[in-house]
């Protein structure tokens, strides 16, 4: 992988690399980038990986590469840093700016106390202002009082606190670093804005690249909900002698809610119905009237910063409302959330085209390295890369999957769409738990399916069955890992990020192939655009990625050993099966439970260290490999 990354950098050619868990991916891209003297941005999807790079991999590498000294920095989105200007305003007695849900000052209440604690921390205890450096976890409401988002900040050159701004200082540190670690949302926002949010760089590495499509989609879009109007109304009220325009905007939140709530879970019609169009226009007019009111109301220089922030928020909001009122053919708008708190989201239907324009086709743009343990089929195409314009490589896994793991698909089960499937699947799951003496992570595609299996098996199995509703995720995983024979039943949040090495996790079961919901409005719009290719381009790759992530929970070290049971016979029968199977590590495959029992025998009788290769029965699915 390191050689391929070096060649990609040298030839300025984009590269996609699949590299299994435990490969040492971060070293394989960092070492060539640093030793070739390139400035590199590493973009991660999760905070866990960002932390791992900043606190473990990069410091170790800095020690090891003593002949190639380099600097590194972490850069986050603006709202992750305390805003010096807000801190000054609150500390200077800006009572009305600290508001509770009803708009009253809460300086004396619990929120006020929390905000004061944050103000003291920002003034005296931190040099970075980074929320991650806090020794306590603030509430979202309190943090919102002491920070600003990119859409509210007027920019350092127009802000009195610009010279001492924490976010600007982080940007300056990043500006002189050789390696800059960011998250993919920030990187995508920079691409969407077309602005120099990030320092110029030669190479960008998208680690956890399987998340890039969805994160970029969200960053290239925007959302509008009643909450945004309420926050704006309450932030502007203290700036006005006559509060009428801000009261009107707060009331418009209810109007917006009435327009969008009926479309919950669905796409907004195109064009909008006439009455909805009129009501949205009313919302826009009220924000515009507030903007004029604020412009007229600016009294003195002291107020200037607050006014600029309010103007900035209103300009963004008006632009977003205009975009909804004149929805582009290339965008889709849909409603998420709840009927009480609906959120209208807008995103480009074809994120590939947006990335092509903003990244791949830029002659002076960086060389992109995309890597993940699970690269779905046709990722490059879906991201808008021209065929032939990039290289792709699979460096495999450091684990001996053919010795360490067995993939089982019980062909005697009914099709998952058959009414008899659920009972038969529960029985199969029970038999597997018995074969492994517990030690099972059972992954489900829905809460309903998880609950029903837990209810059906709790009294029929001698092992503790933990479910996702029992405890928060870290505590649940610790409990599962600590009780050798327990079983954990969980849904989507556990298909990634569960790392339980050793024998406590020896079986992973998957109830159904994890295809995306057919009624997801964004995917529906993408399917409609792709026509007959949609299933191959959208549904199969997404199922393949999630399936590989679920399967990836099993083998976490070279001495782990276990069974993956996919209880959906479409894995062995459907015409698209090889796209899924080829996305998985190269395990022996079987359709016979007796093979599973034989494979798990050493675990049951306590001689696990036996490392004999599995011996699938005659007629097992292994002979079916293309």
Q: Which residues make up the interface to ligand SF4 (CB under 6 A)? A: 78, 83-85, 148, 153, 156, 159, 161-162, 165, 167-168
Rank residues 83 and 203 by Cβ distance to ligand SF4 and give the closer one: 83
Rank residues 305 and 620 by Cβ distance to ligand SF4 and give the closer one: 305
Rank residues 158 and 412 by Cβ distance to ligand SF4 and give the closer one: 158
Rank residues 143 and 390 by Cβ distance to ligand SF4 and give the closer one: 143
Rank residues 235 and 544 by Cβ distance to ligand SF4 and give the closer one: 235
In the three-class reduction of DSSP (H, G, I as helix; E, B as strand; rest coil), residue 183 is classed as: strand
CA atoms of 481 and 553, how far apart (whole Å): 13
Q: Is the Cβ–Cβ distance between 383 and 213 less than 8 Å?
A: yes
CA distances from 597 to 275, 512, 590 (A): 64, 22, 12
Query: In the complex, what is the shortest distance from the CB of residue 473 to ligand SF4, in angstroms, rounded to a whole number?
Result: 32
Q: What is the DSSP letter of 302?
A: G
Query: In the complex, what is the shortest distance from the CB of residue 162 to ligand SF4, in angstroms, rounded to a whole number?
Result: 5
Q: Is 447 exposed, middle or buried (0-12, 13-18, 19+ CB in 10 A)?
A: middle
Query: In the complex, what is the shortest distance from the CB of residue 171 to ligand SF4, in angstroms, rounded to a whole number?
Result: 10
In the three-class reduction of DSSP (H, G, I as helix; E, B as strand; rest coil), residue 584 is classed as: coil
Residue with tokens 């209440």, as numbered in its chain = 109
Rank residues 79 and 184 by Cβ distance to ligand SF4 and give the closer one: 79
Q: What are φ and ψ of residue 463, in 5° steps?
A: -105, 155
Query: In the complex, what is the shortest distance from the CB of residue 121 to ligand SF4, in angstroms, rounded to a whole number?
Result: 16
Query: In the complex, what is the shortest distance from the CB of residue 151 to ligand SF4, in angstroms, rounded to a whole number?
Result: 11
Query: In the complex, what is the shortest distance from the CB of residue 525 to ligand SF4, in angstroms, rounded to a whole number?
Result: 35
Query: In the complex, what is the shortest distance from the CB of residue 101 to ligand SF4, in angstroms, rounded to a whole number?
Result: 24
Residue with tokens 């980074």, as numbered in its chain = 130
Secondary structure (H, E, C), 236-282: HHHHCCCCHHHHHHHHHHHHHHHHHHHHECCECCCCCCHHHHHHHHH
Total residues found in the chain within this entry: 626
Query: In the complex, what is the shortest distance from the CB of residue 182 to ligand SF4, in angstroms, rounded to a whole number?
Result: 17
Query: Strand order of the sheet with strand 342-348?
Result: 222-224, 342-348, 331-337
Residue with tokens 């699947």, as numbered in its chain = 425
Rank residues 148 and 554 by Cβ distance to ligand SF4 and give the closer one: 148
Task: Using the Cα atoms of residue 339, residue 340, residue 344 and residue 350 in order, give the sign of their dihedral.
Answer: negative
Q: Which among 313, 355, 554, 292 is positioned nearest to 442, based on CA atoms?
A: 554
Bridge partners of 203? 40, 367
Query: In the complex, what is the shortest distance from the CB of residue 337 to ligand SF4, in angstroms, rounded to a whole number?
Result: 28
Rank residues 148 and 407 by Cβ distance to ligand SF4 and give the closer one: 148
Query: In the complex, what is the shortest distance from the CB of residue 22 to ligand SF4, in angstroms, rounded to a whole number?
Result: 40
Q: What is the DSSP letter of 152?
A: T
Query: In the complex, what is the shortest distance from the CB of residue 79 to ligand SF4, in angstroms, rounded to a whole number?
Result: 9
Rank residues 74 and 584 by Cβ distance to ligand SF4 and give the closer one: 74
Q: Which among 163, 180, 166, 161 is positioned nearest to 133, based on CA atoms?
A: 166
Rank residues 315 and 341 by Cβ distance to ligand SF4 and give the closer one: 315
Query: In the complex, what is the shortest distance from the CB of residue 312 to ligand SF4, in angstroms, rounded to a whole number?
Result: 9
Rank residues 155 and 398 by Cβ distance to ligand SF4 and give the closer one: 155
Rank residues 167 and 488 by Cβ distance to ligand SF4 and give the closer one: 167
HSE at residue 141, side-chain half, CA atoms within 13 A, is 14
CA distances from 193 to 79, 216, 452, 454 (A): 17, 12, 46, 47
Rank residues 153 and 368 by Cβ distance to ligand SF4 and give the closer one: 153
Q: Which helix (H) or strand (E) holds 522?
A: helix 521-530
Q: How far is CA 180 from the centre of its chain?
A: 20
Rank residues 165 and 476 by Cβ distance to ligand SF4 and give the closer one: 165
Q: Is the Cβ–Cβ distance between 40 and 198 less than 8 Å?
A: no
Query: In the complex, what is the shortest distance from the CB of residue 120 to ligand SF4, in angstroms, rounded to a whole number?
Result: 17
Query: In the complex, what is the shortest distance from the CB of residue 172 to ligand SF4, in angstroms, rounded to a whole number?
Result: 12
CA distances from 50 to 44, 186, 366, 497 (A): 6, 13, 20, 14
Contacts of residue 572, Cβ cutoff 8 Å, sequence gap at least 6: 409, 411, 591, 621, 624
- Burial state string for 542-571 with b = 16 or more CB within 10 A and e = fewer than 16: bbbbbbbbbbbbbbbeeebbbbbbbbbbbb
């Amino acid at each position: 992988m390191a050689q391929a990354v070096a060649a990609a950098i040298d030839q300025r050619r984009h590269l996609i690399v699949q590299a299994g868990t435990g490969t040492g991916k971060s070293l394989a891209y960092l070492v060539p980038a640093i030793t070739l003297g390139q400035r590199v941005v590493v973009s991660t999807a999760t905070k866990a990986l960002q932390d791992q790079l900043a606190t473990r991999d990069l410091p170790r590498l800095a020690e090891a590469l003593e002949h190639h000294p380099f600097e590194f920095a972490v850069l986050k989105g603006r709202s992750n840093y305390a805003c010096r200007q807000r801190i000054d305003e609150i500390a200077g007695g800006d009572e009305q700016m600290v508001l509770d849900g009803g708009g009253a000052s809460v300086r004396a209440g619990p929120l006020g106390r929390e905000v004061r604690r944050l103000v003291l921390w920002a003034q005296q205890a931190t040099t970075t202002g980074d929320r991650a450096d806090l020794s306590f976890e603030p509430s979202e409401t309190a943090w919102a009082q002491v920070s600003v988002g990119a859409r509210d900040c007027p920019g350092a050159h127009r802000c009195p606190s610009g010279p001492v701004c924490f976010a600007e200082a982080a940007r300056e540190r990043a500006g002189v670093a050789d390696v800059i670690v960011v998250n993919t949302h920030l990187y995508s926002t920079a691409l969407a804005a077309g602005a120099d949010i990030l320092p110029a760089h030669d190479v960008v590495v998208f680690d956890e690249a399987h998340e890039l499509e969805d994160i970029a989609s969200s960053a290239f879009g925007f959302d509008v909900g009643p909450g945004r109007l309420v926050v704006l109304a309450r932030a502007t009220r203290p700036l006005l002698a006559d509060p009428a325009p801000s009261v009107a905007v707060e009331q418009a939140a209810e109007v917006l809610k009435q327009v969008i709530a009926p479309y919950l879970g669905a796409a907004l019609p195109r064009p909008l119905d006439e009455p909805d169009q009129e009501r949205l226009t009313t919302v826009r007019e009220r924000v515009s009237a507030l903007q004029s009111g604020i412009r007229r109301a600016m009294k003195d220089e002291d107020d200037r910063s607050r006014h600029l922030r309010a103007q900035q928020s209103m300009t963004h909001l008006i632009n977003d409302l205009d975009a909804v009122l004149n929805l582009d053919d290339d965008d889709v708008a849909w409603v998420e959330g709840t009927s009480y708190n609906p959120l209208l989201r807008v995103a480009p239907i074809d994120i590939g085209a947006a990335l092509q324009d903003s990244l791949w086709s830029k002659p002076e743009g960086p060389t992109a390295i995309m890597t993940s343990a699970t690269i779905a089929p046709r990722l490059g195409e879906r991201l808008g890369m021209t065929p032939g314009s990039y290289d792709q490589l699979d460096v495999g896994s450091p684990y001996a999957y053919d010795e360490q793991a067995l993939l089982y698909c019980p062909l005697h089960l009914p099709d998952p769409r058959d009414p008899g499937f659920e009972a038969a699947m529960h029985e199969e799951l029970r038999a597997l738990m018995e074969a492994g003496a517990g030690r099972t992570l059972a992954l489900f595609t829905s809460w309903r399916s998880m609950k029903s299996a837990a209810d059906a098996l709790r009294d029929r199995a001698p092992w503790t069955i933990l479910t996702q509703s029992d405890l928060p995720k870290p505590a649940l995983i610790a409990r599962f890992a600590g009780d050798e024979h327990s079983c954990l039943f969980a849904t989507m949040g556990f298909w990634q990020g569960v790392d339980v090495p050793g024998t406590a996790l020896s079986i992973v079961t998957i109830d159904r192939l994890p295809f995306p919901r057919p009624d997801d409005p964004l995917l529906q719009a993408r399917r409609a655009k792709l026509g007959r290719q949609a299933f191959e381009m959208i549904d199969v790759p997404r199922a393949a990625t999630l399936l590989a992530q679920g399967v990836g929970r099993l083998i976490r070290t070279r001495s782990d050993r276990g069974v993956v049971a996919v209880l959906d016979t479409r894995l062995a029968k459907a015409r698209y099966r090889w796209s899924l199977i080829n996305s998985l590590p190269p395990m022996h495959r079987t359709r016979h439970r007796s093979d599973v029992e034989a494979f798990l025998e050493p675990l049951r009788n306590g001689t696990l260290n036996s490392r004999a290769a599995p011996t699938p029965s005659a007629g097992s699915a292994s002979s079916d490999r293309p």
